[in-house]
A and B are shown apart, each in its own frame.
Chain A
Amino acid sequence: MSKAETDGAITTTQPVKFYQVGSFAVGNRLVDPSLRTVQADAARTNAITSGHRACQGCGEALGARYVLDAAMRATGGKLVAVNATGCLEVFTTPYPETSWQLPWLHSLFGNAASVATGVAAALEVQGRNDVRVIAQAGDGGTVDIGFGCLSGMFERNDDVLFVCYDNEAYMNTGVQRSGATPPAARTATTEAVGREPGNPFDQGKNLPRLAMAHGIRYVATATVADLHDLEAKVERAMDFRGARYLHLLVPCPLGWSSAPADTIRIARLAKESGLFPVFEAVDGEVTAASGIRRLVPVEEYLRLQGRFRHLFDSSGAVARTDIVARLQKLADANVERFGLLQPEVT
């Protein structure tokens, strides 16, 4: 241990590796600012600033700011964003107001990837390789209507980072089912009625794995509950050139019928139950997974969301044990496939 005089107070250089909140909280006054998140910095970009019209507690508004602020930091502020039609676009740019603080272009619903390809091509041709491009869309604009263009962008390896903000349904149009809606979830087009209430099992697309199948340089999943992990992935993505994909789970209080204050808590439970695996893949192979810290049964996650209300009875106990068991099996399979219970250094 060494001691150094600083302004008359005796301080020590830290021999201790333990930092109270470590890397769990947004910031930490005990560690060097460079080890804190971008969000902890009062000089962060605030790529989406106040005054936008997202619902209270919107996970997408939060996730988009997280991603873009990190990307602005990683690119030295040289970033262009292309945005598909959807909640994010609608609540940020109602004429005459915009909450974006970076150059931003609204594409159409299904072509964010293609428009971004065009932007990247134009930048390259103008010799401006220092300016990077992010395309962003919701789950509908990514896995359904956006899939053709996205696949084309992947296949050509265009230099675009595509970010999918997955709130698991078409929220802006009133909570309709998408190819990303999880089994048993209630949406307006998969109502919780009949023998199989909610969205059917054995349907839907796993975009991260489809992205990996294209063999693109970098694919990652993340949630709004783990900011350090998310920022590290954005930063890492910006180290690569070519097509990259980030799939971000963003709870939607309105569409999931959850309390606005629970947005981050629910995202955390999605990961901790195993239902949403958090991992990275390079060149089509999984290279790292973020381990589960405190494994929970899926019902802890489901219980907080009204879109799964039909699985419980009025006292809060599981009523549809068959459905919950099937969901638990999905979670268990993820834990197995990605090795989510291996011990990990925090």
Chain B
Amino acid sequence: MLSQLEGSRAVAGAVVCCRPQVVCAYPITPQTHIVEAIGASVKSRQLKHCRFINVESEFAAMSVAIGASATGARAYTATASQGLLFMIEAVYNAAGLGLPVVMTLANRAIGAPINIWNDHSDAMAVRDSGWVMLFAEDNQTATDLHVQAFRLAEELSLPVMVCMDGYVLTHATERVDVPTQEQVDAFLPPYKPRQVLDPADPVSIGAMVGPEAFTEVRYLAHAKQLQALERIGEVAGEFAEGFGRHSGGLVSTYHVEDAEVVIVALGSVLGTIKDATDELRANGARVGVVGITSFRPFPLDALREAIGDARKVVVVERAFSAGFGGVLSTDVGLAISDAKARLSTVVAGLGGRAVTEAGLIGVFEDALGDRLEALRFLDLDKDVVDRELARMAGTRRSGPSAENVLRDLGTVASGAL
């Protein structure tokens, strides 16, 4: 049903239609609106047969979800950034046990320095945890991916994380076709667990596995992710049949057929990238875009195929690995390792800095003109950086860097300095 509403609320509406049985969350900006909305649905009995639990930390949130899922209930939670890190032990645990928990990750930067705005550093911290990780480009996709996530998770007995950019998507009001209860019921059957705690058929779940079997157990997690690689596309197809629109899948492409330069990115920045692409194309540049929806499992083959014969790949990413470079671009590099394309990484939008169409056009023109270095930080204020580096070289007690930079920019009132 078409609605003009905030992204969080659209997602909440979809989740409610999926009939979760246990919802638990701890407040953290910018996911909170999602669980607030679900909580209201439970309290008003719009969503029945659901326990909404106000937990005392994110660690508790994922733990409650694990307990519920192991007991045969459909469980959901949401978090971001610091909260994700606080529950990380349990995140790995859920994947290791093979429990189909679904979680919304409202992507937000990880401190220090503390920052509540959007980037992808939180998702990157758990990319090896064994969760399926799907990135939404816009709020419609975010909404639809949640429905697909429950189905996928329960089929494969794997937890699934739907990543949507904090504030940019969560707090943006736009038109979304929110699924109806009937549509979701037709698509998502009740949860049938692969293993469950049941007095009638007791088992011990969570044994200690030593060197003699650990490798095999972990390999099986890998095998399941490879199965997911198959199923994600199929589930997206089945979704399209039931809901009449395409959402999800492994990758999405835009003008890649004849592209010289292909831009690869995750999440909402793809919208701006496509606008920039349109402009460049209008001027004759052969630029294309690949959006990665399934970040884990990583679609090496689909990406390779989409990039084709392009001579340059530019990965625009909202995260980086300090002292090294891009994160997503390392995965992309593996996909094109046998291709002739050269790879550049553009780190942009950290901590919620706006990624502008003009800034992107500048970068892409540099790519087209072979002027783009291997690693570029978009819109970096080099002067500010150099001044702080000089301060640090000049005196031992140079003070906290964050404060110094803010003061330099005039954001914080100057003191005696």
Q: Which of B105-113, B202-210, B295-303, B347-355 participates in binding chain A?
A: B202-210
**Is A94 a contact partner of B210 (Cβ separation < 8 A)?**
yes
Selected contact of B60 from candidates A90, A100, A114, CB within 8 Å:
A114
Cβ of B55 within 8 Å of any chain A Cβ, yes or no, is yes
CB of B41 within 8 Å of the partner chain: no
Q: B268: CB under 8 A from chain A?
A: no
CB distance from B73 to the nearest CB of A (A): 3
Indicate if the CB atoms of A122 and B90 lie closer than 8 Å. no
From 38 to 96 in chain A, residues with beta carbon under 8 angstroms from any chain B beta carbon are 77-80, 82-83, 89-90, 92-96
Q: Is the CB of B207 within 8 A of A95?
A: yes
Q: Are B206 and A107 in contact (CB under 8 A)?
A: yes
Question: B22, A125: Cβ atoms under 8 Å?
Answer: yes
Check B356 for interface membership: any CB of A closer than 8 A.
no
Asked if A121 is at the interface (CB within 8 A of a chain B CB), the reply is yes
Instruction: From A98, A114, A120, name the one whose CB has the most chain B CB atoms within 10 angstroms.
Output: A114
Residue pair A117, B198 in contact (C-beta under 8 Å): no
Q: Is the CB of A125 within 8 A of B49?
A: yes
B43-78 contact mask (Cβ, 8 Å, vs A): 1 or 0: 000000111011111011101111111111101000
Chain B residues near A123 (CB-CB < 8 A):
71
How many residue pairs between the two chains, A and B, have CB atoms under 8 Å in the bound complex? 158
Does B57 lie within 8 Å of A149, measured CB to CB?
yes
What's the least CB distance linking A264 to chain B, in Å? 27
A53–B203 Cα gap in the complex (Å)? 18
Q: Mark B104-130, 1 if CB is under 8 A from A, else 0.
A: 000000000000000000000000000
Q: Which residue of B lies closest to A100 (CB)?
A: B204
Q: In the complex, are the beta carbons of B22 and A80 less than 8 A apart? A: no
Q: Is the CB of A122 within 8 A of B207?
A: no
User: Chain A, interface size: which category?
Assistant: 35 or more
Contact of A79 among B51, B53, B199, B204 (CB under 8 A): B199
- Cβ-defined partner of B59 (8 Å) among A83, A89, A110: A110
Asked if residues A125 and B21 are in contact (CB atoms below 8 Å), the reply is yes
Encode B182-214 as 1/0 by CB contact (under 8 A) with A.
000000000000000111011111111110010
B interface secondary structure, majority:
mixed
Say whether chain A's binding surface is mostly helix, strand, loop, or mixed: mixed
Tell me whether A93 and B202 are in contact (CB under 8 A): no
Query: When the two chains form the complex, which single residue of A82, A116, A124, A151 contacts B56, counting CB atoms closer than 8 Å?
Result: A151
In the complex, the answer to whether A155 meets B56 with C-beta atoms within 8 Å is yes
A265 within 8 A of B: no
B73 touches A126 (CB 8 A): yes
Known: A108-B89, A115-B67, A118-B75. A148 touches B199 (CB 8 A): no
Q: Are B206 and A118 in contact (CB under 8 A)?
A: no
Asked if A94 contacts B207 (CB within 8 A), the reply is yes
Would you call B208 and A94 a contact (CB within 8 A)? yes
Residue in contact with B68 in the complex, picked from A119, A148, A152, A156, CB distance below 8 Å? A119
The reply on B158 being an interface residue by CB < 8 A is no
Kindly list chain A residues whose C-beta atoms are within 8 Å of the C-beta of B55: 114, 117, 152
In the complex the two chains form, is B60's CB within 8 Å of A148's CB?
Answer: yes
On A, residues with C-beta under 8 Å from B are 77-80, 82-83, 89-90, 92-96, 98, 100-108, 110-111, 114-126, 131, 148-149, 151-152, 155-156, 158
Given contacts A94-B208, A108-B89, A126-B21, 10 further A-B contacts (CB under 8 A): A93-B208, A95-B209, A105-B70, A106-B205, A110-B59, A114-B63, A118-B64, A118-B71, A122-B22, A149-B63
- 20 A-B pairs with CB atoms under 8 Å apart are A82-B67, A93-B207, A94-B210, A102-B199, A105-B67, A105-B204, A105-B205, A114-B55, A115-B66, A115-B67, A115-B70, A118-B67, A119-B68, A121-B51, A122-B67, A122-B71, A124-B51, A125-B22, A149-B60, A152-B55
Interface set of B (CB-CB < 8 Å, partner A): 21-22, 24, 49-51, 53-57, 59-61, 63-73, 75, 89-90, 93, 197-199, 201-210, 213
7 closest cross-chain pairs (CB), A and B: A118-B67, A106-B206, A152-B56, A122-B73, A114-B63, A122-B71, A115-B67
